Structure 1
């Protein structure tokens, strides 16, 4: 591969994540500012965003303190029952609640990467959920690459789960980067892949040129 292609690939690896991150930050800020300006009638978007975040934090702590009381637990049960009677909405409500509970309370178990071997000779990266099926099998989440928000929920016998010594960061980096990432060095192996492909192409071209020259010399010898 030519040098300008390698430079372009290396530049894209650095620039694209930065642009995407900045766009997401801008999008979130714009959404919060838009809602805050409507709610507070403030003309300064930065002040509106700060005020909205402060109000949100106060509401979270107030509700959390209320959940420590009997009245709070009673209201939470009634809210769960009410959401359970609404078709469609109950799926979103229950899924989001379980996701938050897993992230806040079950992170120690969920952040244990494991390997699952669905077929002989092939392994897939998965994460324990800390849940078990009715027959005792462990429930493992296998994320897709590079979008880890989707994946497969599988029930696996405990003896079929392969333990690993890697961290959750290593496993997530590998999945998010489609296998190219390397969290220990903080870099990606995509550039090395392009270099190897370029070297293979160059070597193939050199071999082809050498073969052509050998054929030309053979034809010249036959002619003489």
Structure 2
């Protein structure tokens, strides 16, 4: 009797925990985005009643309109001058440039980063882990190293947003025949969810 109760309880947990965490993360993200909307643009101020999600819709509209404006010549020119101004402020320059490079790399549709999952020996020989190709390092970094090298990102488990950047000899990587999404699921699940394509 106790074993059956335990079995059903664990089965229920496996169903609810991912759902609750997903909803919690989405709620947190929406709350952060809504916090950027000034109070005078709230639905209460504009219409006299509270409309759930109104501020979030405003945030998405502002982001979409910004993208629309930045897609033309005038918008690109304004953006270029804006980045020049930010590039002259010492502390802001470092933070902005780092975040911009990371977001351009990850969010750009033309980016080739995180497009391929591979196996590498890490942290020592005969221990294998999944890594993601992120590019090819510049020749100036590889002076004196024989062979062809690639840059890889080794995510940690169960939080793949932290990890290690490595430069590895191309001969020492094994390409995997799975998608990046499935490889990430395998990493996050600590090897429990099989990476089947």
TM bucket (normalised to shorter chain) is: 0.7 to 0.9
Using the alignment, how far apart are the partners of 1:125 and 1:173 within structure 2?
11
Contact 2:70-2:79 at 8 Å conserved across structures = no
Superposition RMSD on alpha carbons, in Å? Answer: 2.7
Q: Please report the TM-score for the alignment, with normalisation by the length of structure 2.
A: 0.77
Supply the distance in 2 between the matched residues of 1:92 and 1:177 (Cα, whole angstroms): 32
Aligned to 1:101: 104
Q: Distance in 2 between matches of 1:42 and 1:159?
A: 59
Matched pairs, number: 181
What is the DSSP-based 3-state SS (H/G/I as helix, E as strand, rest coil) of the residue aligned with 2:159? coil
Q: Is the 8 A contact 2:105 2:113 kept in 1?
A: no
TM-score, with normalisation over the residues of structure 1? Answer: 0.68
Q: Where does 1:1-224 land on structure 2 (aligned, <5 Å)?
A: 2-36=3-37, 38-43=39-44, 44-46=50-52, 47-65=54-72, 69=73, 75-103=78-106, 104-118=108-122, 119-134=124-139, 135=142, 137-184=149-196
Give the secondary-structure state (helix, strand or coil) at the position aligned to 2:160.
coil
Shift of 1:2: 2.6
More helix by share: 1
For 1:80 and 1:173, the matched residues in 2 are separated by 36
Q: Could you tell me how far 1:13 is from its partner in structure 2?
A: 1.4
Q: Mark the structure with the bigger radius of gyration.
A: 1
The structure-2 alpha-carbon separation of the partners of 1:9 and 1:52, relative to structure 1 and needing over 3 Å to count, comes to same
Which structure would you say has the larger RCO, counting Cα contacts within 8 Å and 6 or more residues apart? 1
* Runs of at least 5 residues in structure 1 that lack an aligned partner in the other structure: 186-224
